Amino acid sequence: MNLKEILSTKVLVVSGIILFAAVMRLVPHYPNFTPIAAIALFGGAHLGRKWLAFFVPLFALFISDLFLGFHSFMIPVYVSFMLVVLLGNVLGKNVKVHTVAGSAIASSVLFFLITNFAVWAGSPFYPQTFAGLMQSYTMAIPFFHSSLLGDLFYSGVFFGGFYLLQQRYPSLAVIKS
């Protein structure tokens, strides 16, 4: 891959959308209503090279985390983020309203399961039993609805907005893999 491919119009536009979304984490917002999963899903679907599909969203997440601060459960957050990028890679071959919505829901569930499992396993808040794990998931349910709504909203905005841009600028539809 040469520099011209890396700096293609499509890569620059998709990267710009992702970086803008990362900035959205820094402005006041409803709790857990953020573009996190949508960033990973969108990057995975539209950045044709796999290394770019991982690098750009992870870089954007890391930069925003520099401002927000780090915590002891960052590894599970980043692991779930990378799995959502992989989901976006699969989605990239079949971007439709129903597949984007289904992938956004799957992303929310994946993030919920992984991060709350990590909280259960790595903190003294819950007993290290099956009941403790279920308690961890149960206590996180009030936060899940905002995450799910945020993932659906931002996925719709990113994928829908990019679709409209592709209609206006057909060169953005070119996929290099």
Q: How many helices (H) and strands (E) does the chain have?
A: 7, 0
Contact 62, 176 (CB under 8 A): no
Q: What is the pLDDT of residue 176?
A: 47
- For residue 112, the model assigns a pLDDT of 96
What is residue 29's predicted lDDT score, i.e. its pLDDT? 78
* pLDDT, tens digit (0-9, with 9 covering 90-100), for 76-95: 999 999 999 999 999 988 99
Domains and CATH numbers, the chain: 10-168 (1.10.1760)
Please give the single-letter amino acid code of residue 98: H
Q: Which distant-in-sequence residues (6+ apart) come within 8 Å of 1 by Cβ? A: 49
pLDDT single digits (tens) 56-74: 888 888 888 888 888 888 8
- Global pTM reads 0.85
Note whether 107 and 40 are within 8 A (CB).
Answer: yes
| Residue 131 Cα to chain centre, angstroms | 29
Q: What is the per-residue pLDDT for 177?
A: 42
pLDDT in tens, 160-174: 999 998 888 887 876
The candidate with the shortest Cα–Cα distance to 141, out of 104, 109, 105, 100, is 109
Residue 172: closest CA among 70, 60, 47: 47
Q: Each residue of 94-145: pLDDT tens digit?
A: 999 999 999 999 999 999 999 999 999 998 999 999 999 999 999 999 999 9
Three-state secondary structure readout of the chain: CCHHHHCCHHHHHHHHHHHHHHHHCCCCCCCCCCCHHHHHHHHHHHCCCHHHHHHHHHHHHHHHHHHHCCCCCHHHHHHHHHHHHHHHHHHCCCCCHHHHHHHHHHHHHHHHHHHHHHHHHHCCCCCCCHHHHHHHHHHHHHHHHHHHHHHHHHHHHHHHHHHHHHHHCHHHHCCCC
pLDDT at 4 over 60: no
